[in-house]
Amino acid sequence: MCNWLFLAWLLGSYSVVHAEAVTNLYEAEVAVFGQSGEARSKGIREAFAGVLVKISGDSGLLDDPQVEQLLNRGSRLVQQYRYKPLPNPPEGVEEGAPDRLLWARFDARAVNRLLRESGVPVWGEPRPSMLLWLGQEEGARRSLISPDRATSLKQQLTQTADARGLPLVWPLMDIEDQRAVQVSDLWGGFEENIRRASDRYLPDVILVGRLSYRGQGSWRGEWILYLPDKINRWQSYAETRAAVAKEGMEQAVDALALRFAPQQVSQGISSLRLRVHGLTQLADYALVQDYLRSLAMIDNVDLLAADPEQVSFLLRVHGGRDALVRGIQLGSVLEPMVMRVSPDPDQPEISEESVDGEGLDYRLR
């Protein structure tokens, strides 16, 4: 029998690396000219604007006139900044053109507090990894886009995803991928084939893009976002292949933020009990507690009770139960407990999440 009081003390002091999380959410780099105070202030403001978009998940946040007041407070939240050389600087740069990069990191707790006080959602570090399959159509010819052969497009989309704080995974397009995915799968939207071919990369979500040249400098993107329990579809239009792909990527991140970023203002803060089953060793307990503390919608984690069967936590949650359930879907740490219920003895049993009026039941994956 474990000494649960001793375990509770250890839980407060023992730390372990939890599931993969995005670690650069509160930093950004922008191109600037010189190192004058004016240039630095302007660069820090621009970097802070990029961080606010990453943290909120809202690409349209900067269009809100009220955000102007938030941007003015960025200089007080800087923890570190430094200058870096421009990669591949162009020759013959015009006077006043950017000649270096300014990198800045901001105080995570202070930024989160500022956003919440302003009614802006905070999308935390555990974010869905997204696998991207791309196909191209020009005239009657359709083909799969290999990242190794489209390095410029790959670099741009990777930078776009990074600027939005989204982990982007590219397929290897090796022999295994070429056998598993055909052009017809992308254009036919054959979900089963696409999900099966994607399993080797263990993505949280899958994005399929079909880029079609329409003539006269016009491209169309048709997009399918495969979530764990649903599918989103949309289209994008632009003058170049790179632009239409970038627009599709931005819209995919918007869709994920809408699903996973909690809306604090409308739902407030709730106290919820979370019971976690299947923790058999100290590292398990520490893993779960660290993971819960990493979720942006959780304001506080308290240990309520522990026994050999389960551990109960009391959580203060921004956005309520729905926000917590969506957040826990990420990170591959916990999965909902499932029980078998049969309201009618003549009917087959139905699977339901084991959720009662007092809390949520999960187990370690």
Q: Retrieve residue 331's tokens.
A: 């990170």
Residue 134's nearest CA partner among 206, 203, 208, 241 is 208
* Residue 129, both tokens: 């990894």
Give CA 313 to chain center in angstroms. 25
The pLDDT of residue 293: 86
Strands (E), 145-194: 168-169
Q: State CA 82 to chain mean position distance.
A: 26
Among 125, 127, 169, 118, smallest CA distance to 27 is for 125
To the question of pTM greater than 0.75 for the whole model, the response is yes
Burial group, residue 169, by CB count within 10 angstroms (0-12, 13-18, 19+):
middle
Q: Would you state the pLDDT for residue 267?
A: 54
Residue 89's pLDDT is 74
Euclidean distance between the first and the last CA atom of the chain, given in angstroms as a whole number: 23
Backbone angles phi, psi at 121, to 5 degrees: -65, 150
Angle between helical axes of 4-13 and 282-294 (0-180°, round to 10): 50
Q: Which residues contact 188 (CB under 8 A, 6 or more apart)?
A: none
Q: Which residues pair with 130 in a beta bridge?
A: 168, 205
How far is Cα 6 from Cα 18, in angstroms, rounded to an integer?
A: 22
Tokens 């939207």, residue? Answer: 189
**Neighbouring residues of 108: CB distance < 8 A, sequence distance ≥ 6:** 25, 26
pLDDT of 30: 96
φ, ψ dihedrals at 314, nearest 5°: -105, 125
Supply the pLDDT for residue 18: 31
Q: What is the C-alpha separation between 126 and 131, in angstroms, rounded? A: 16
Query: Mind listing the pLDDT tens digit of every residue in the chain (365 residues)?
Result: 444 443 443 344 333 323 346 889 999 999 999 999 999 999 999 999 999 999 999 989 999 988 988 999 999 999 999 999 998 776 666 777 899 999 999 999 999 889 988 888 888 777 889 999 999 999 999 999 999 999 999 999 999 999 999 999 999 999 999 999 999 999 999 999 999 999 999 999 999 999 999 998 899 999 999 998 889 999 999 999 999 999 999 999 999 988 877 655 445 678 899 999 988 888 888 889 988 988 877 888 999 988 877 899 999 887 788 888 878 877 678 989 864 444 444 443 333 333 334 589 999 88
> 100 is written with which tokens?
């270096």
**What's the CA gap between 166 and 239, in Å, rounded?**
25
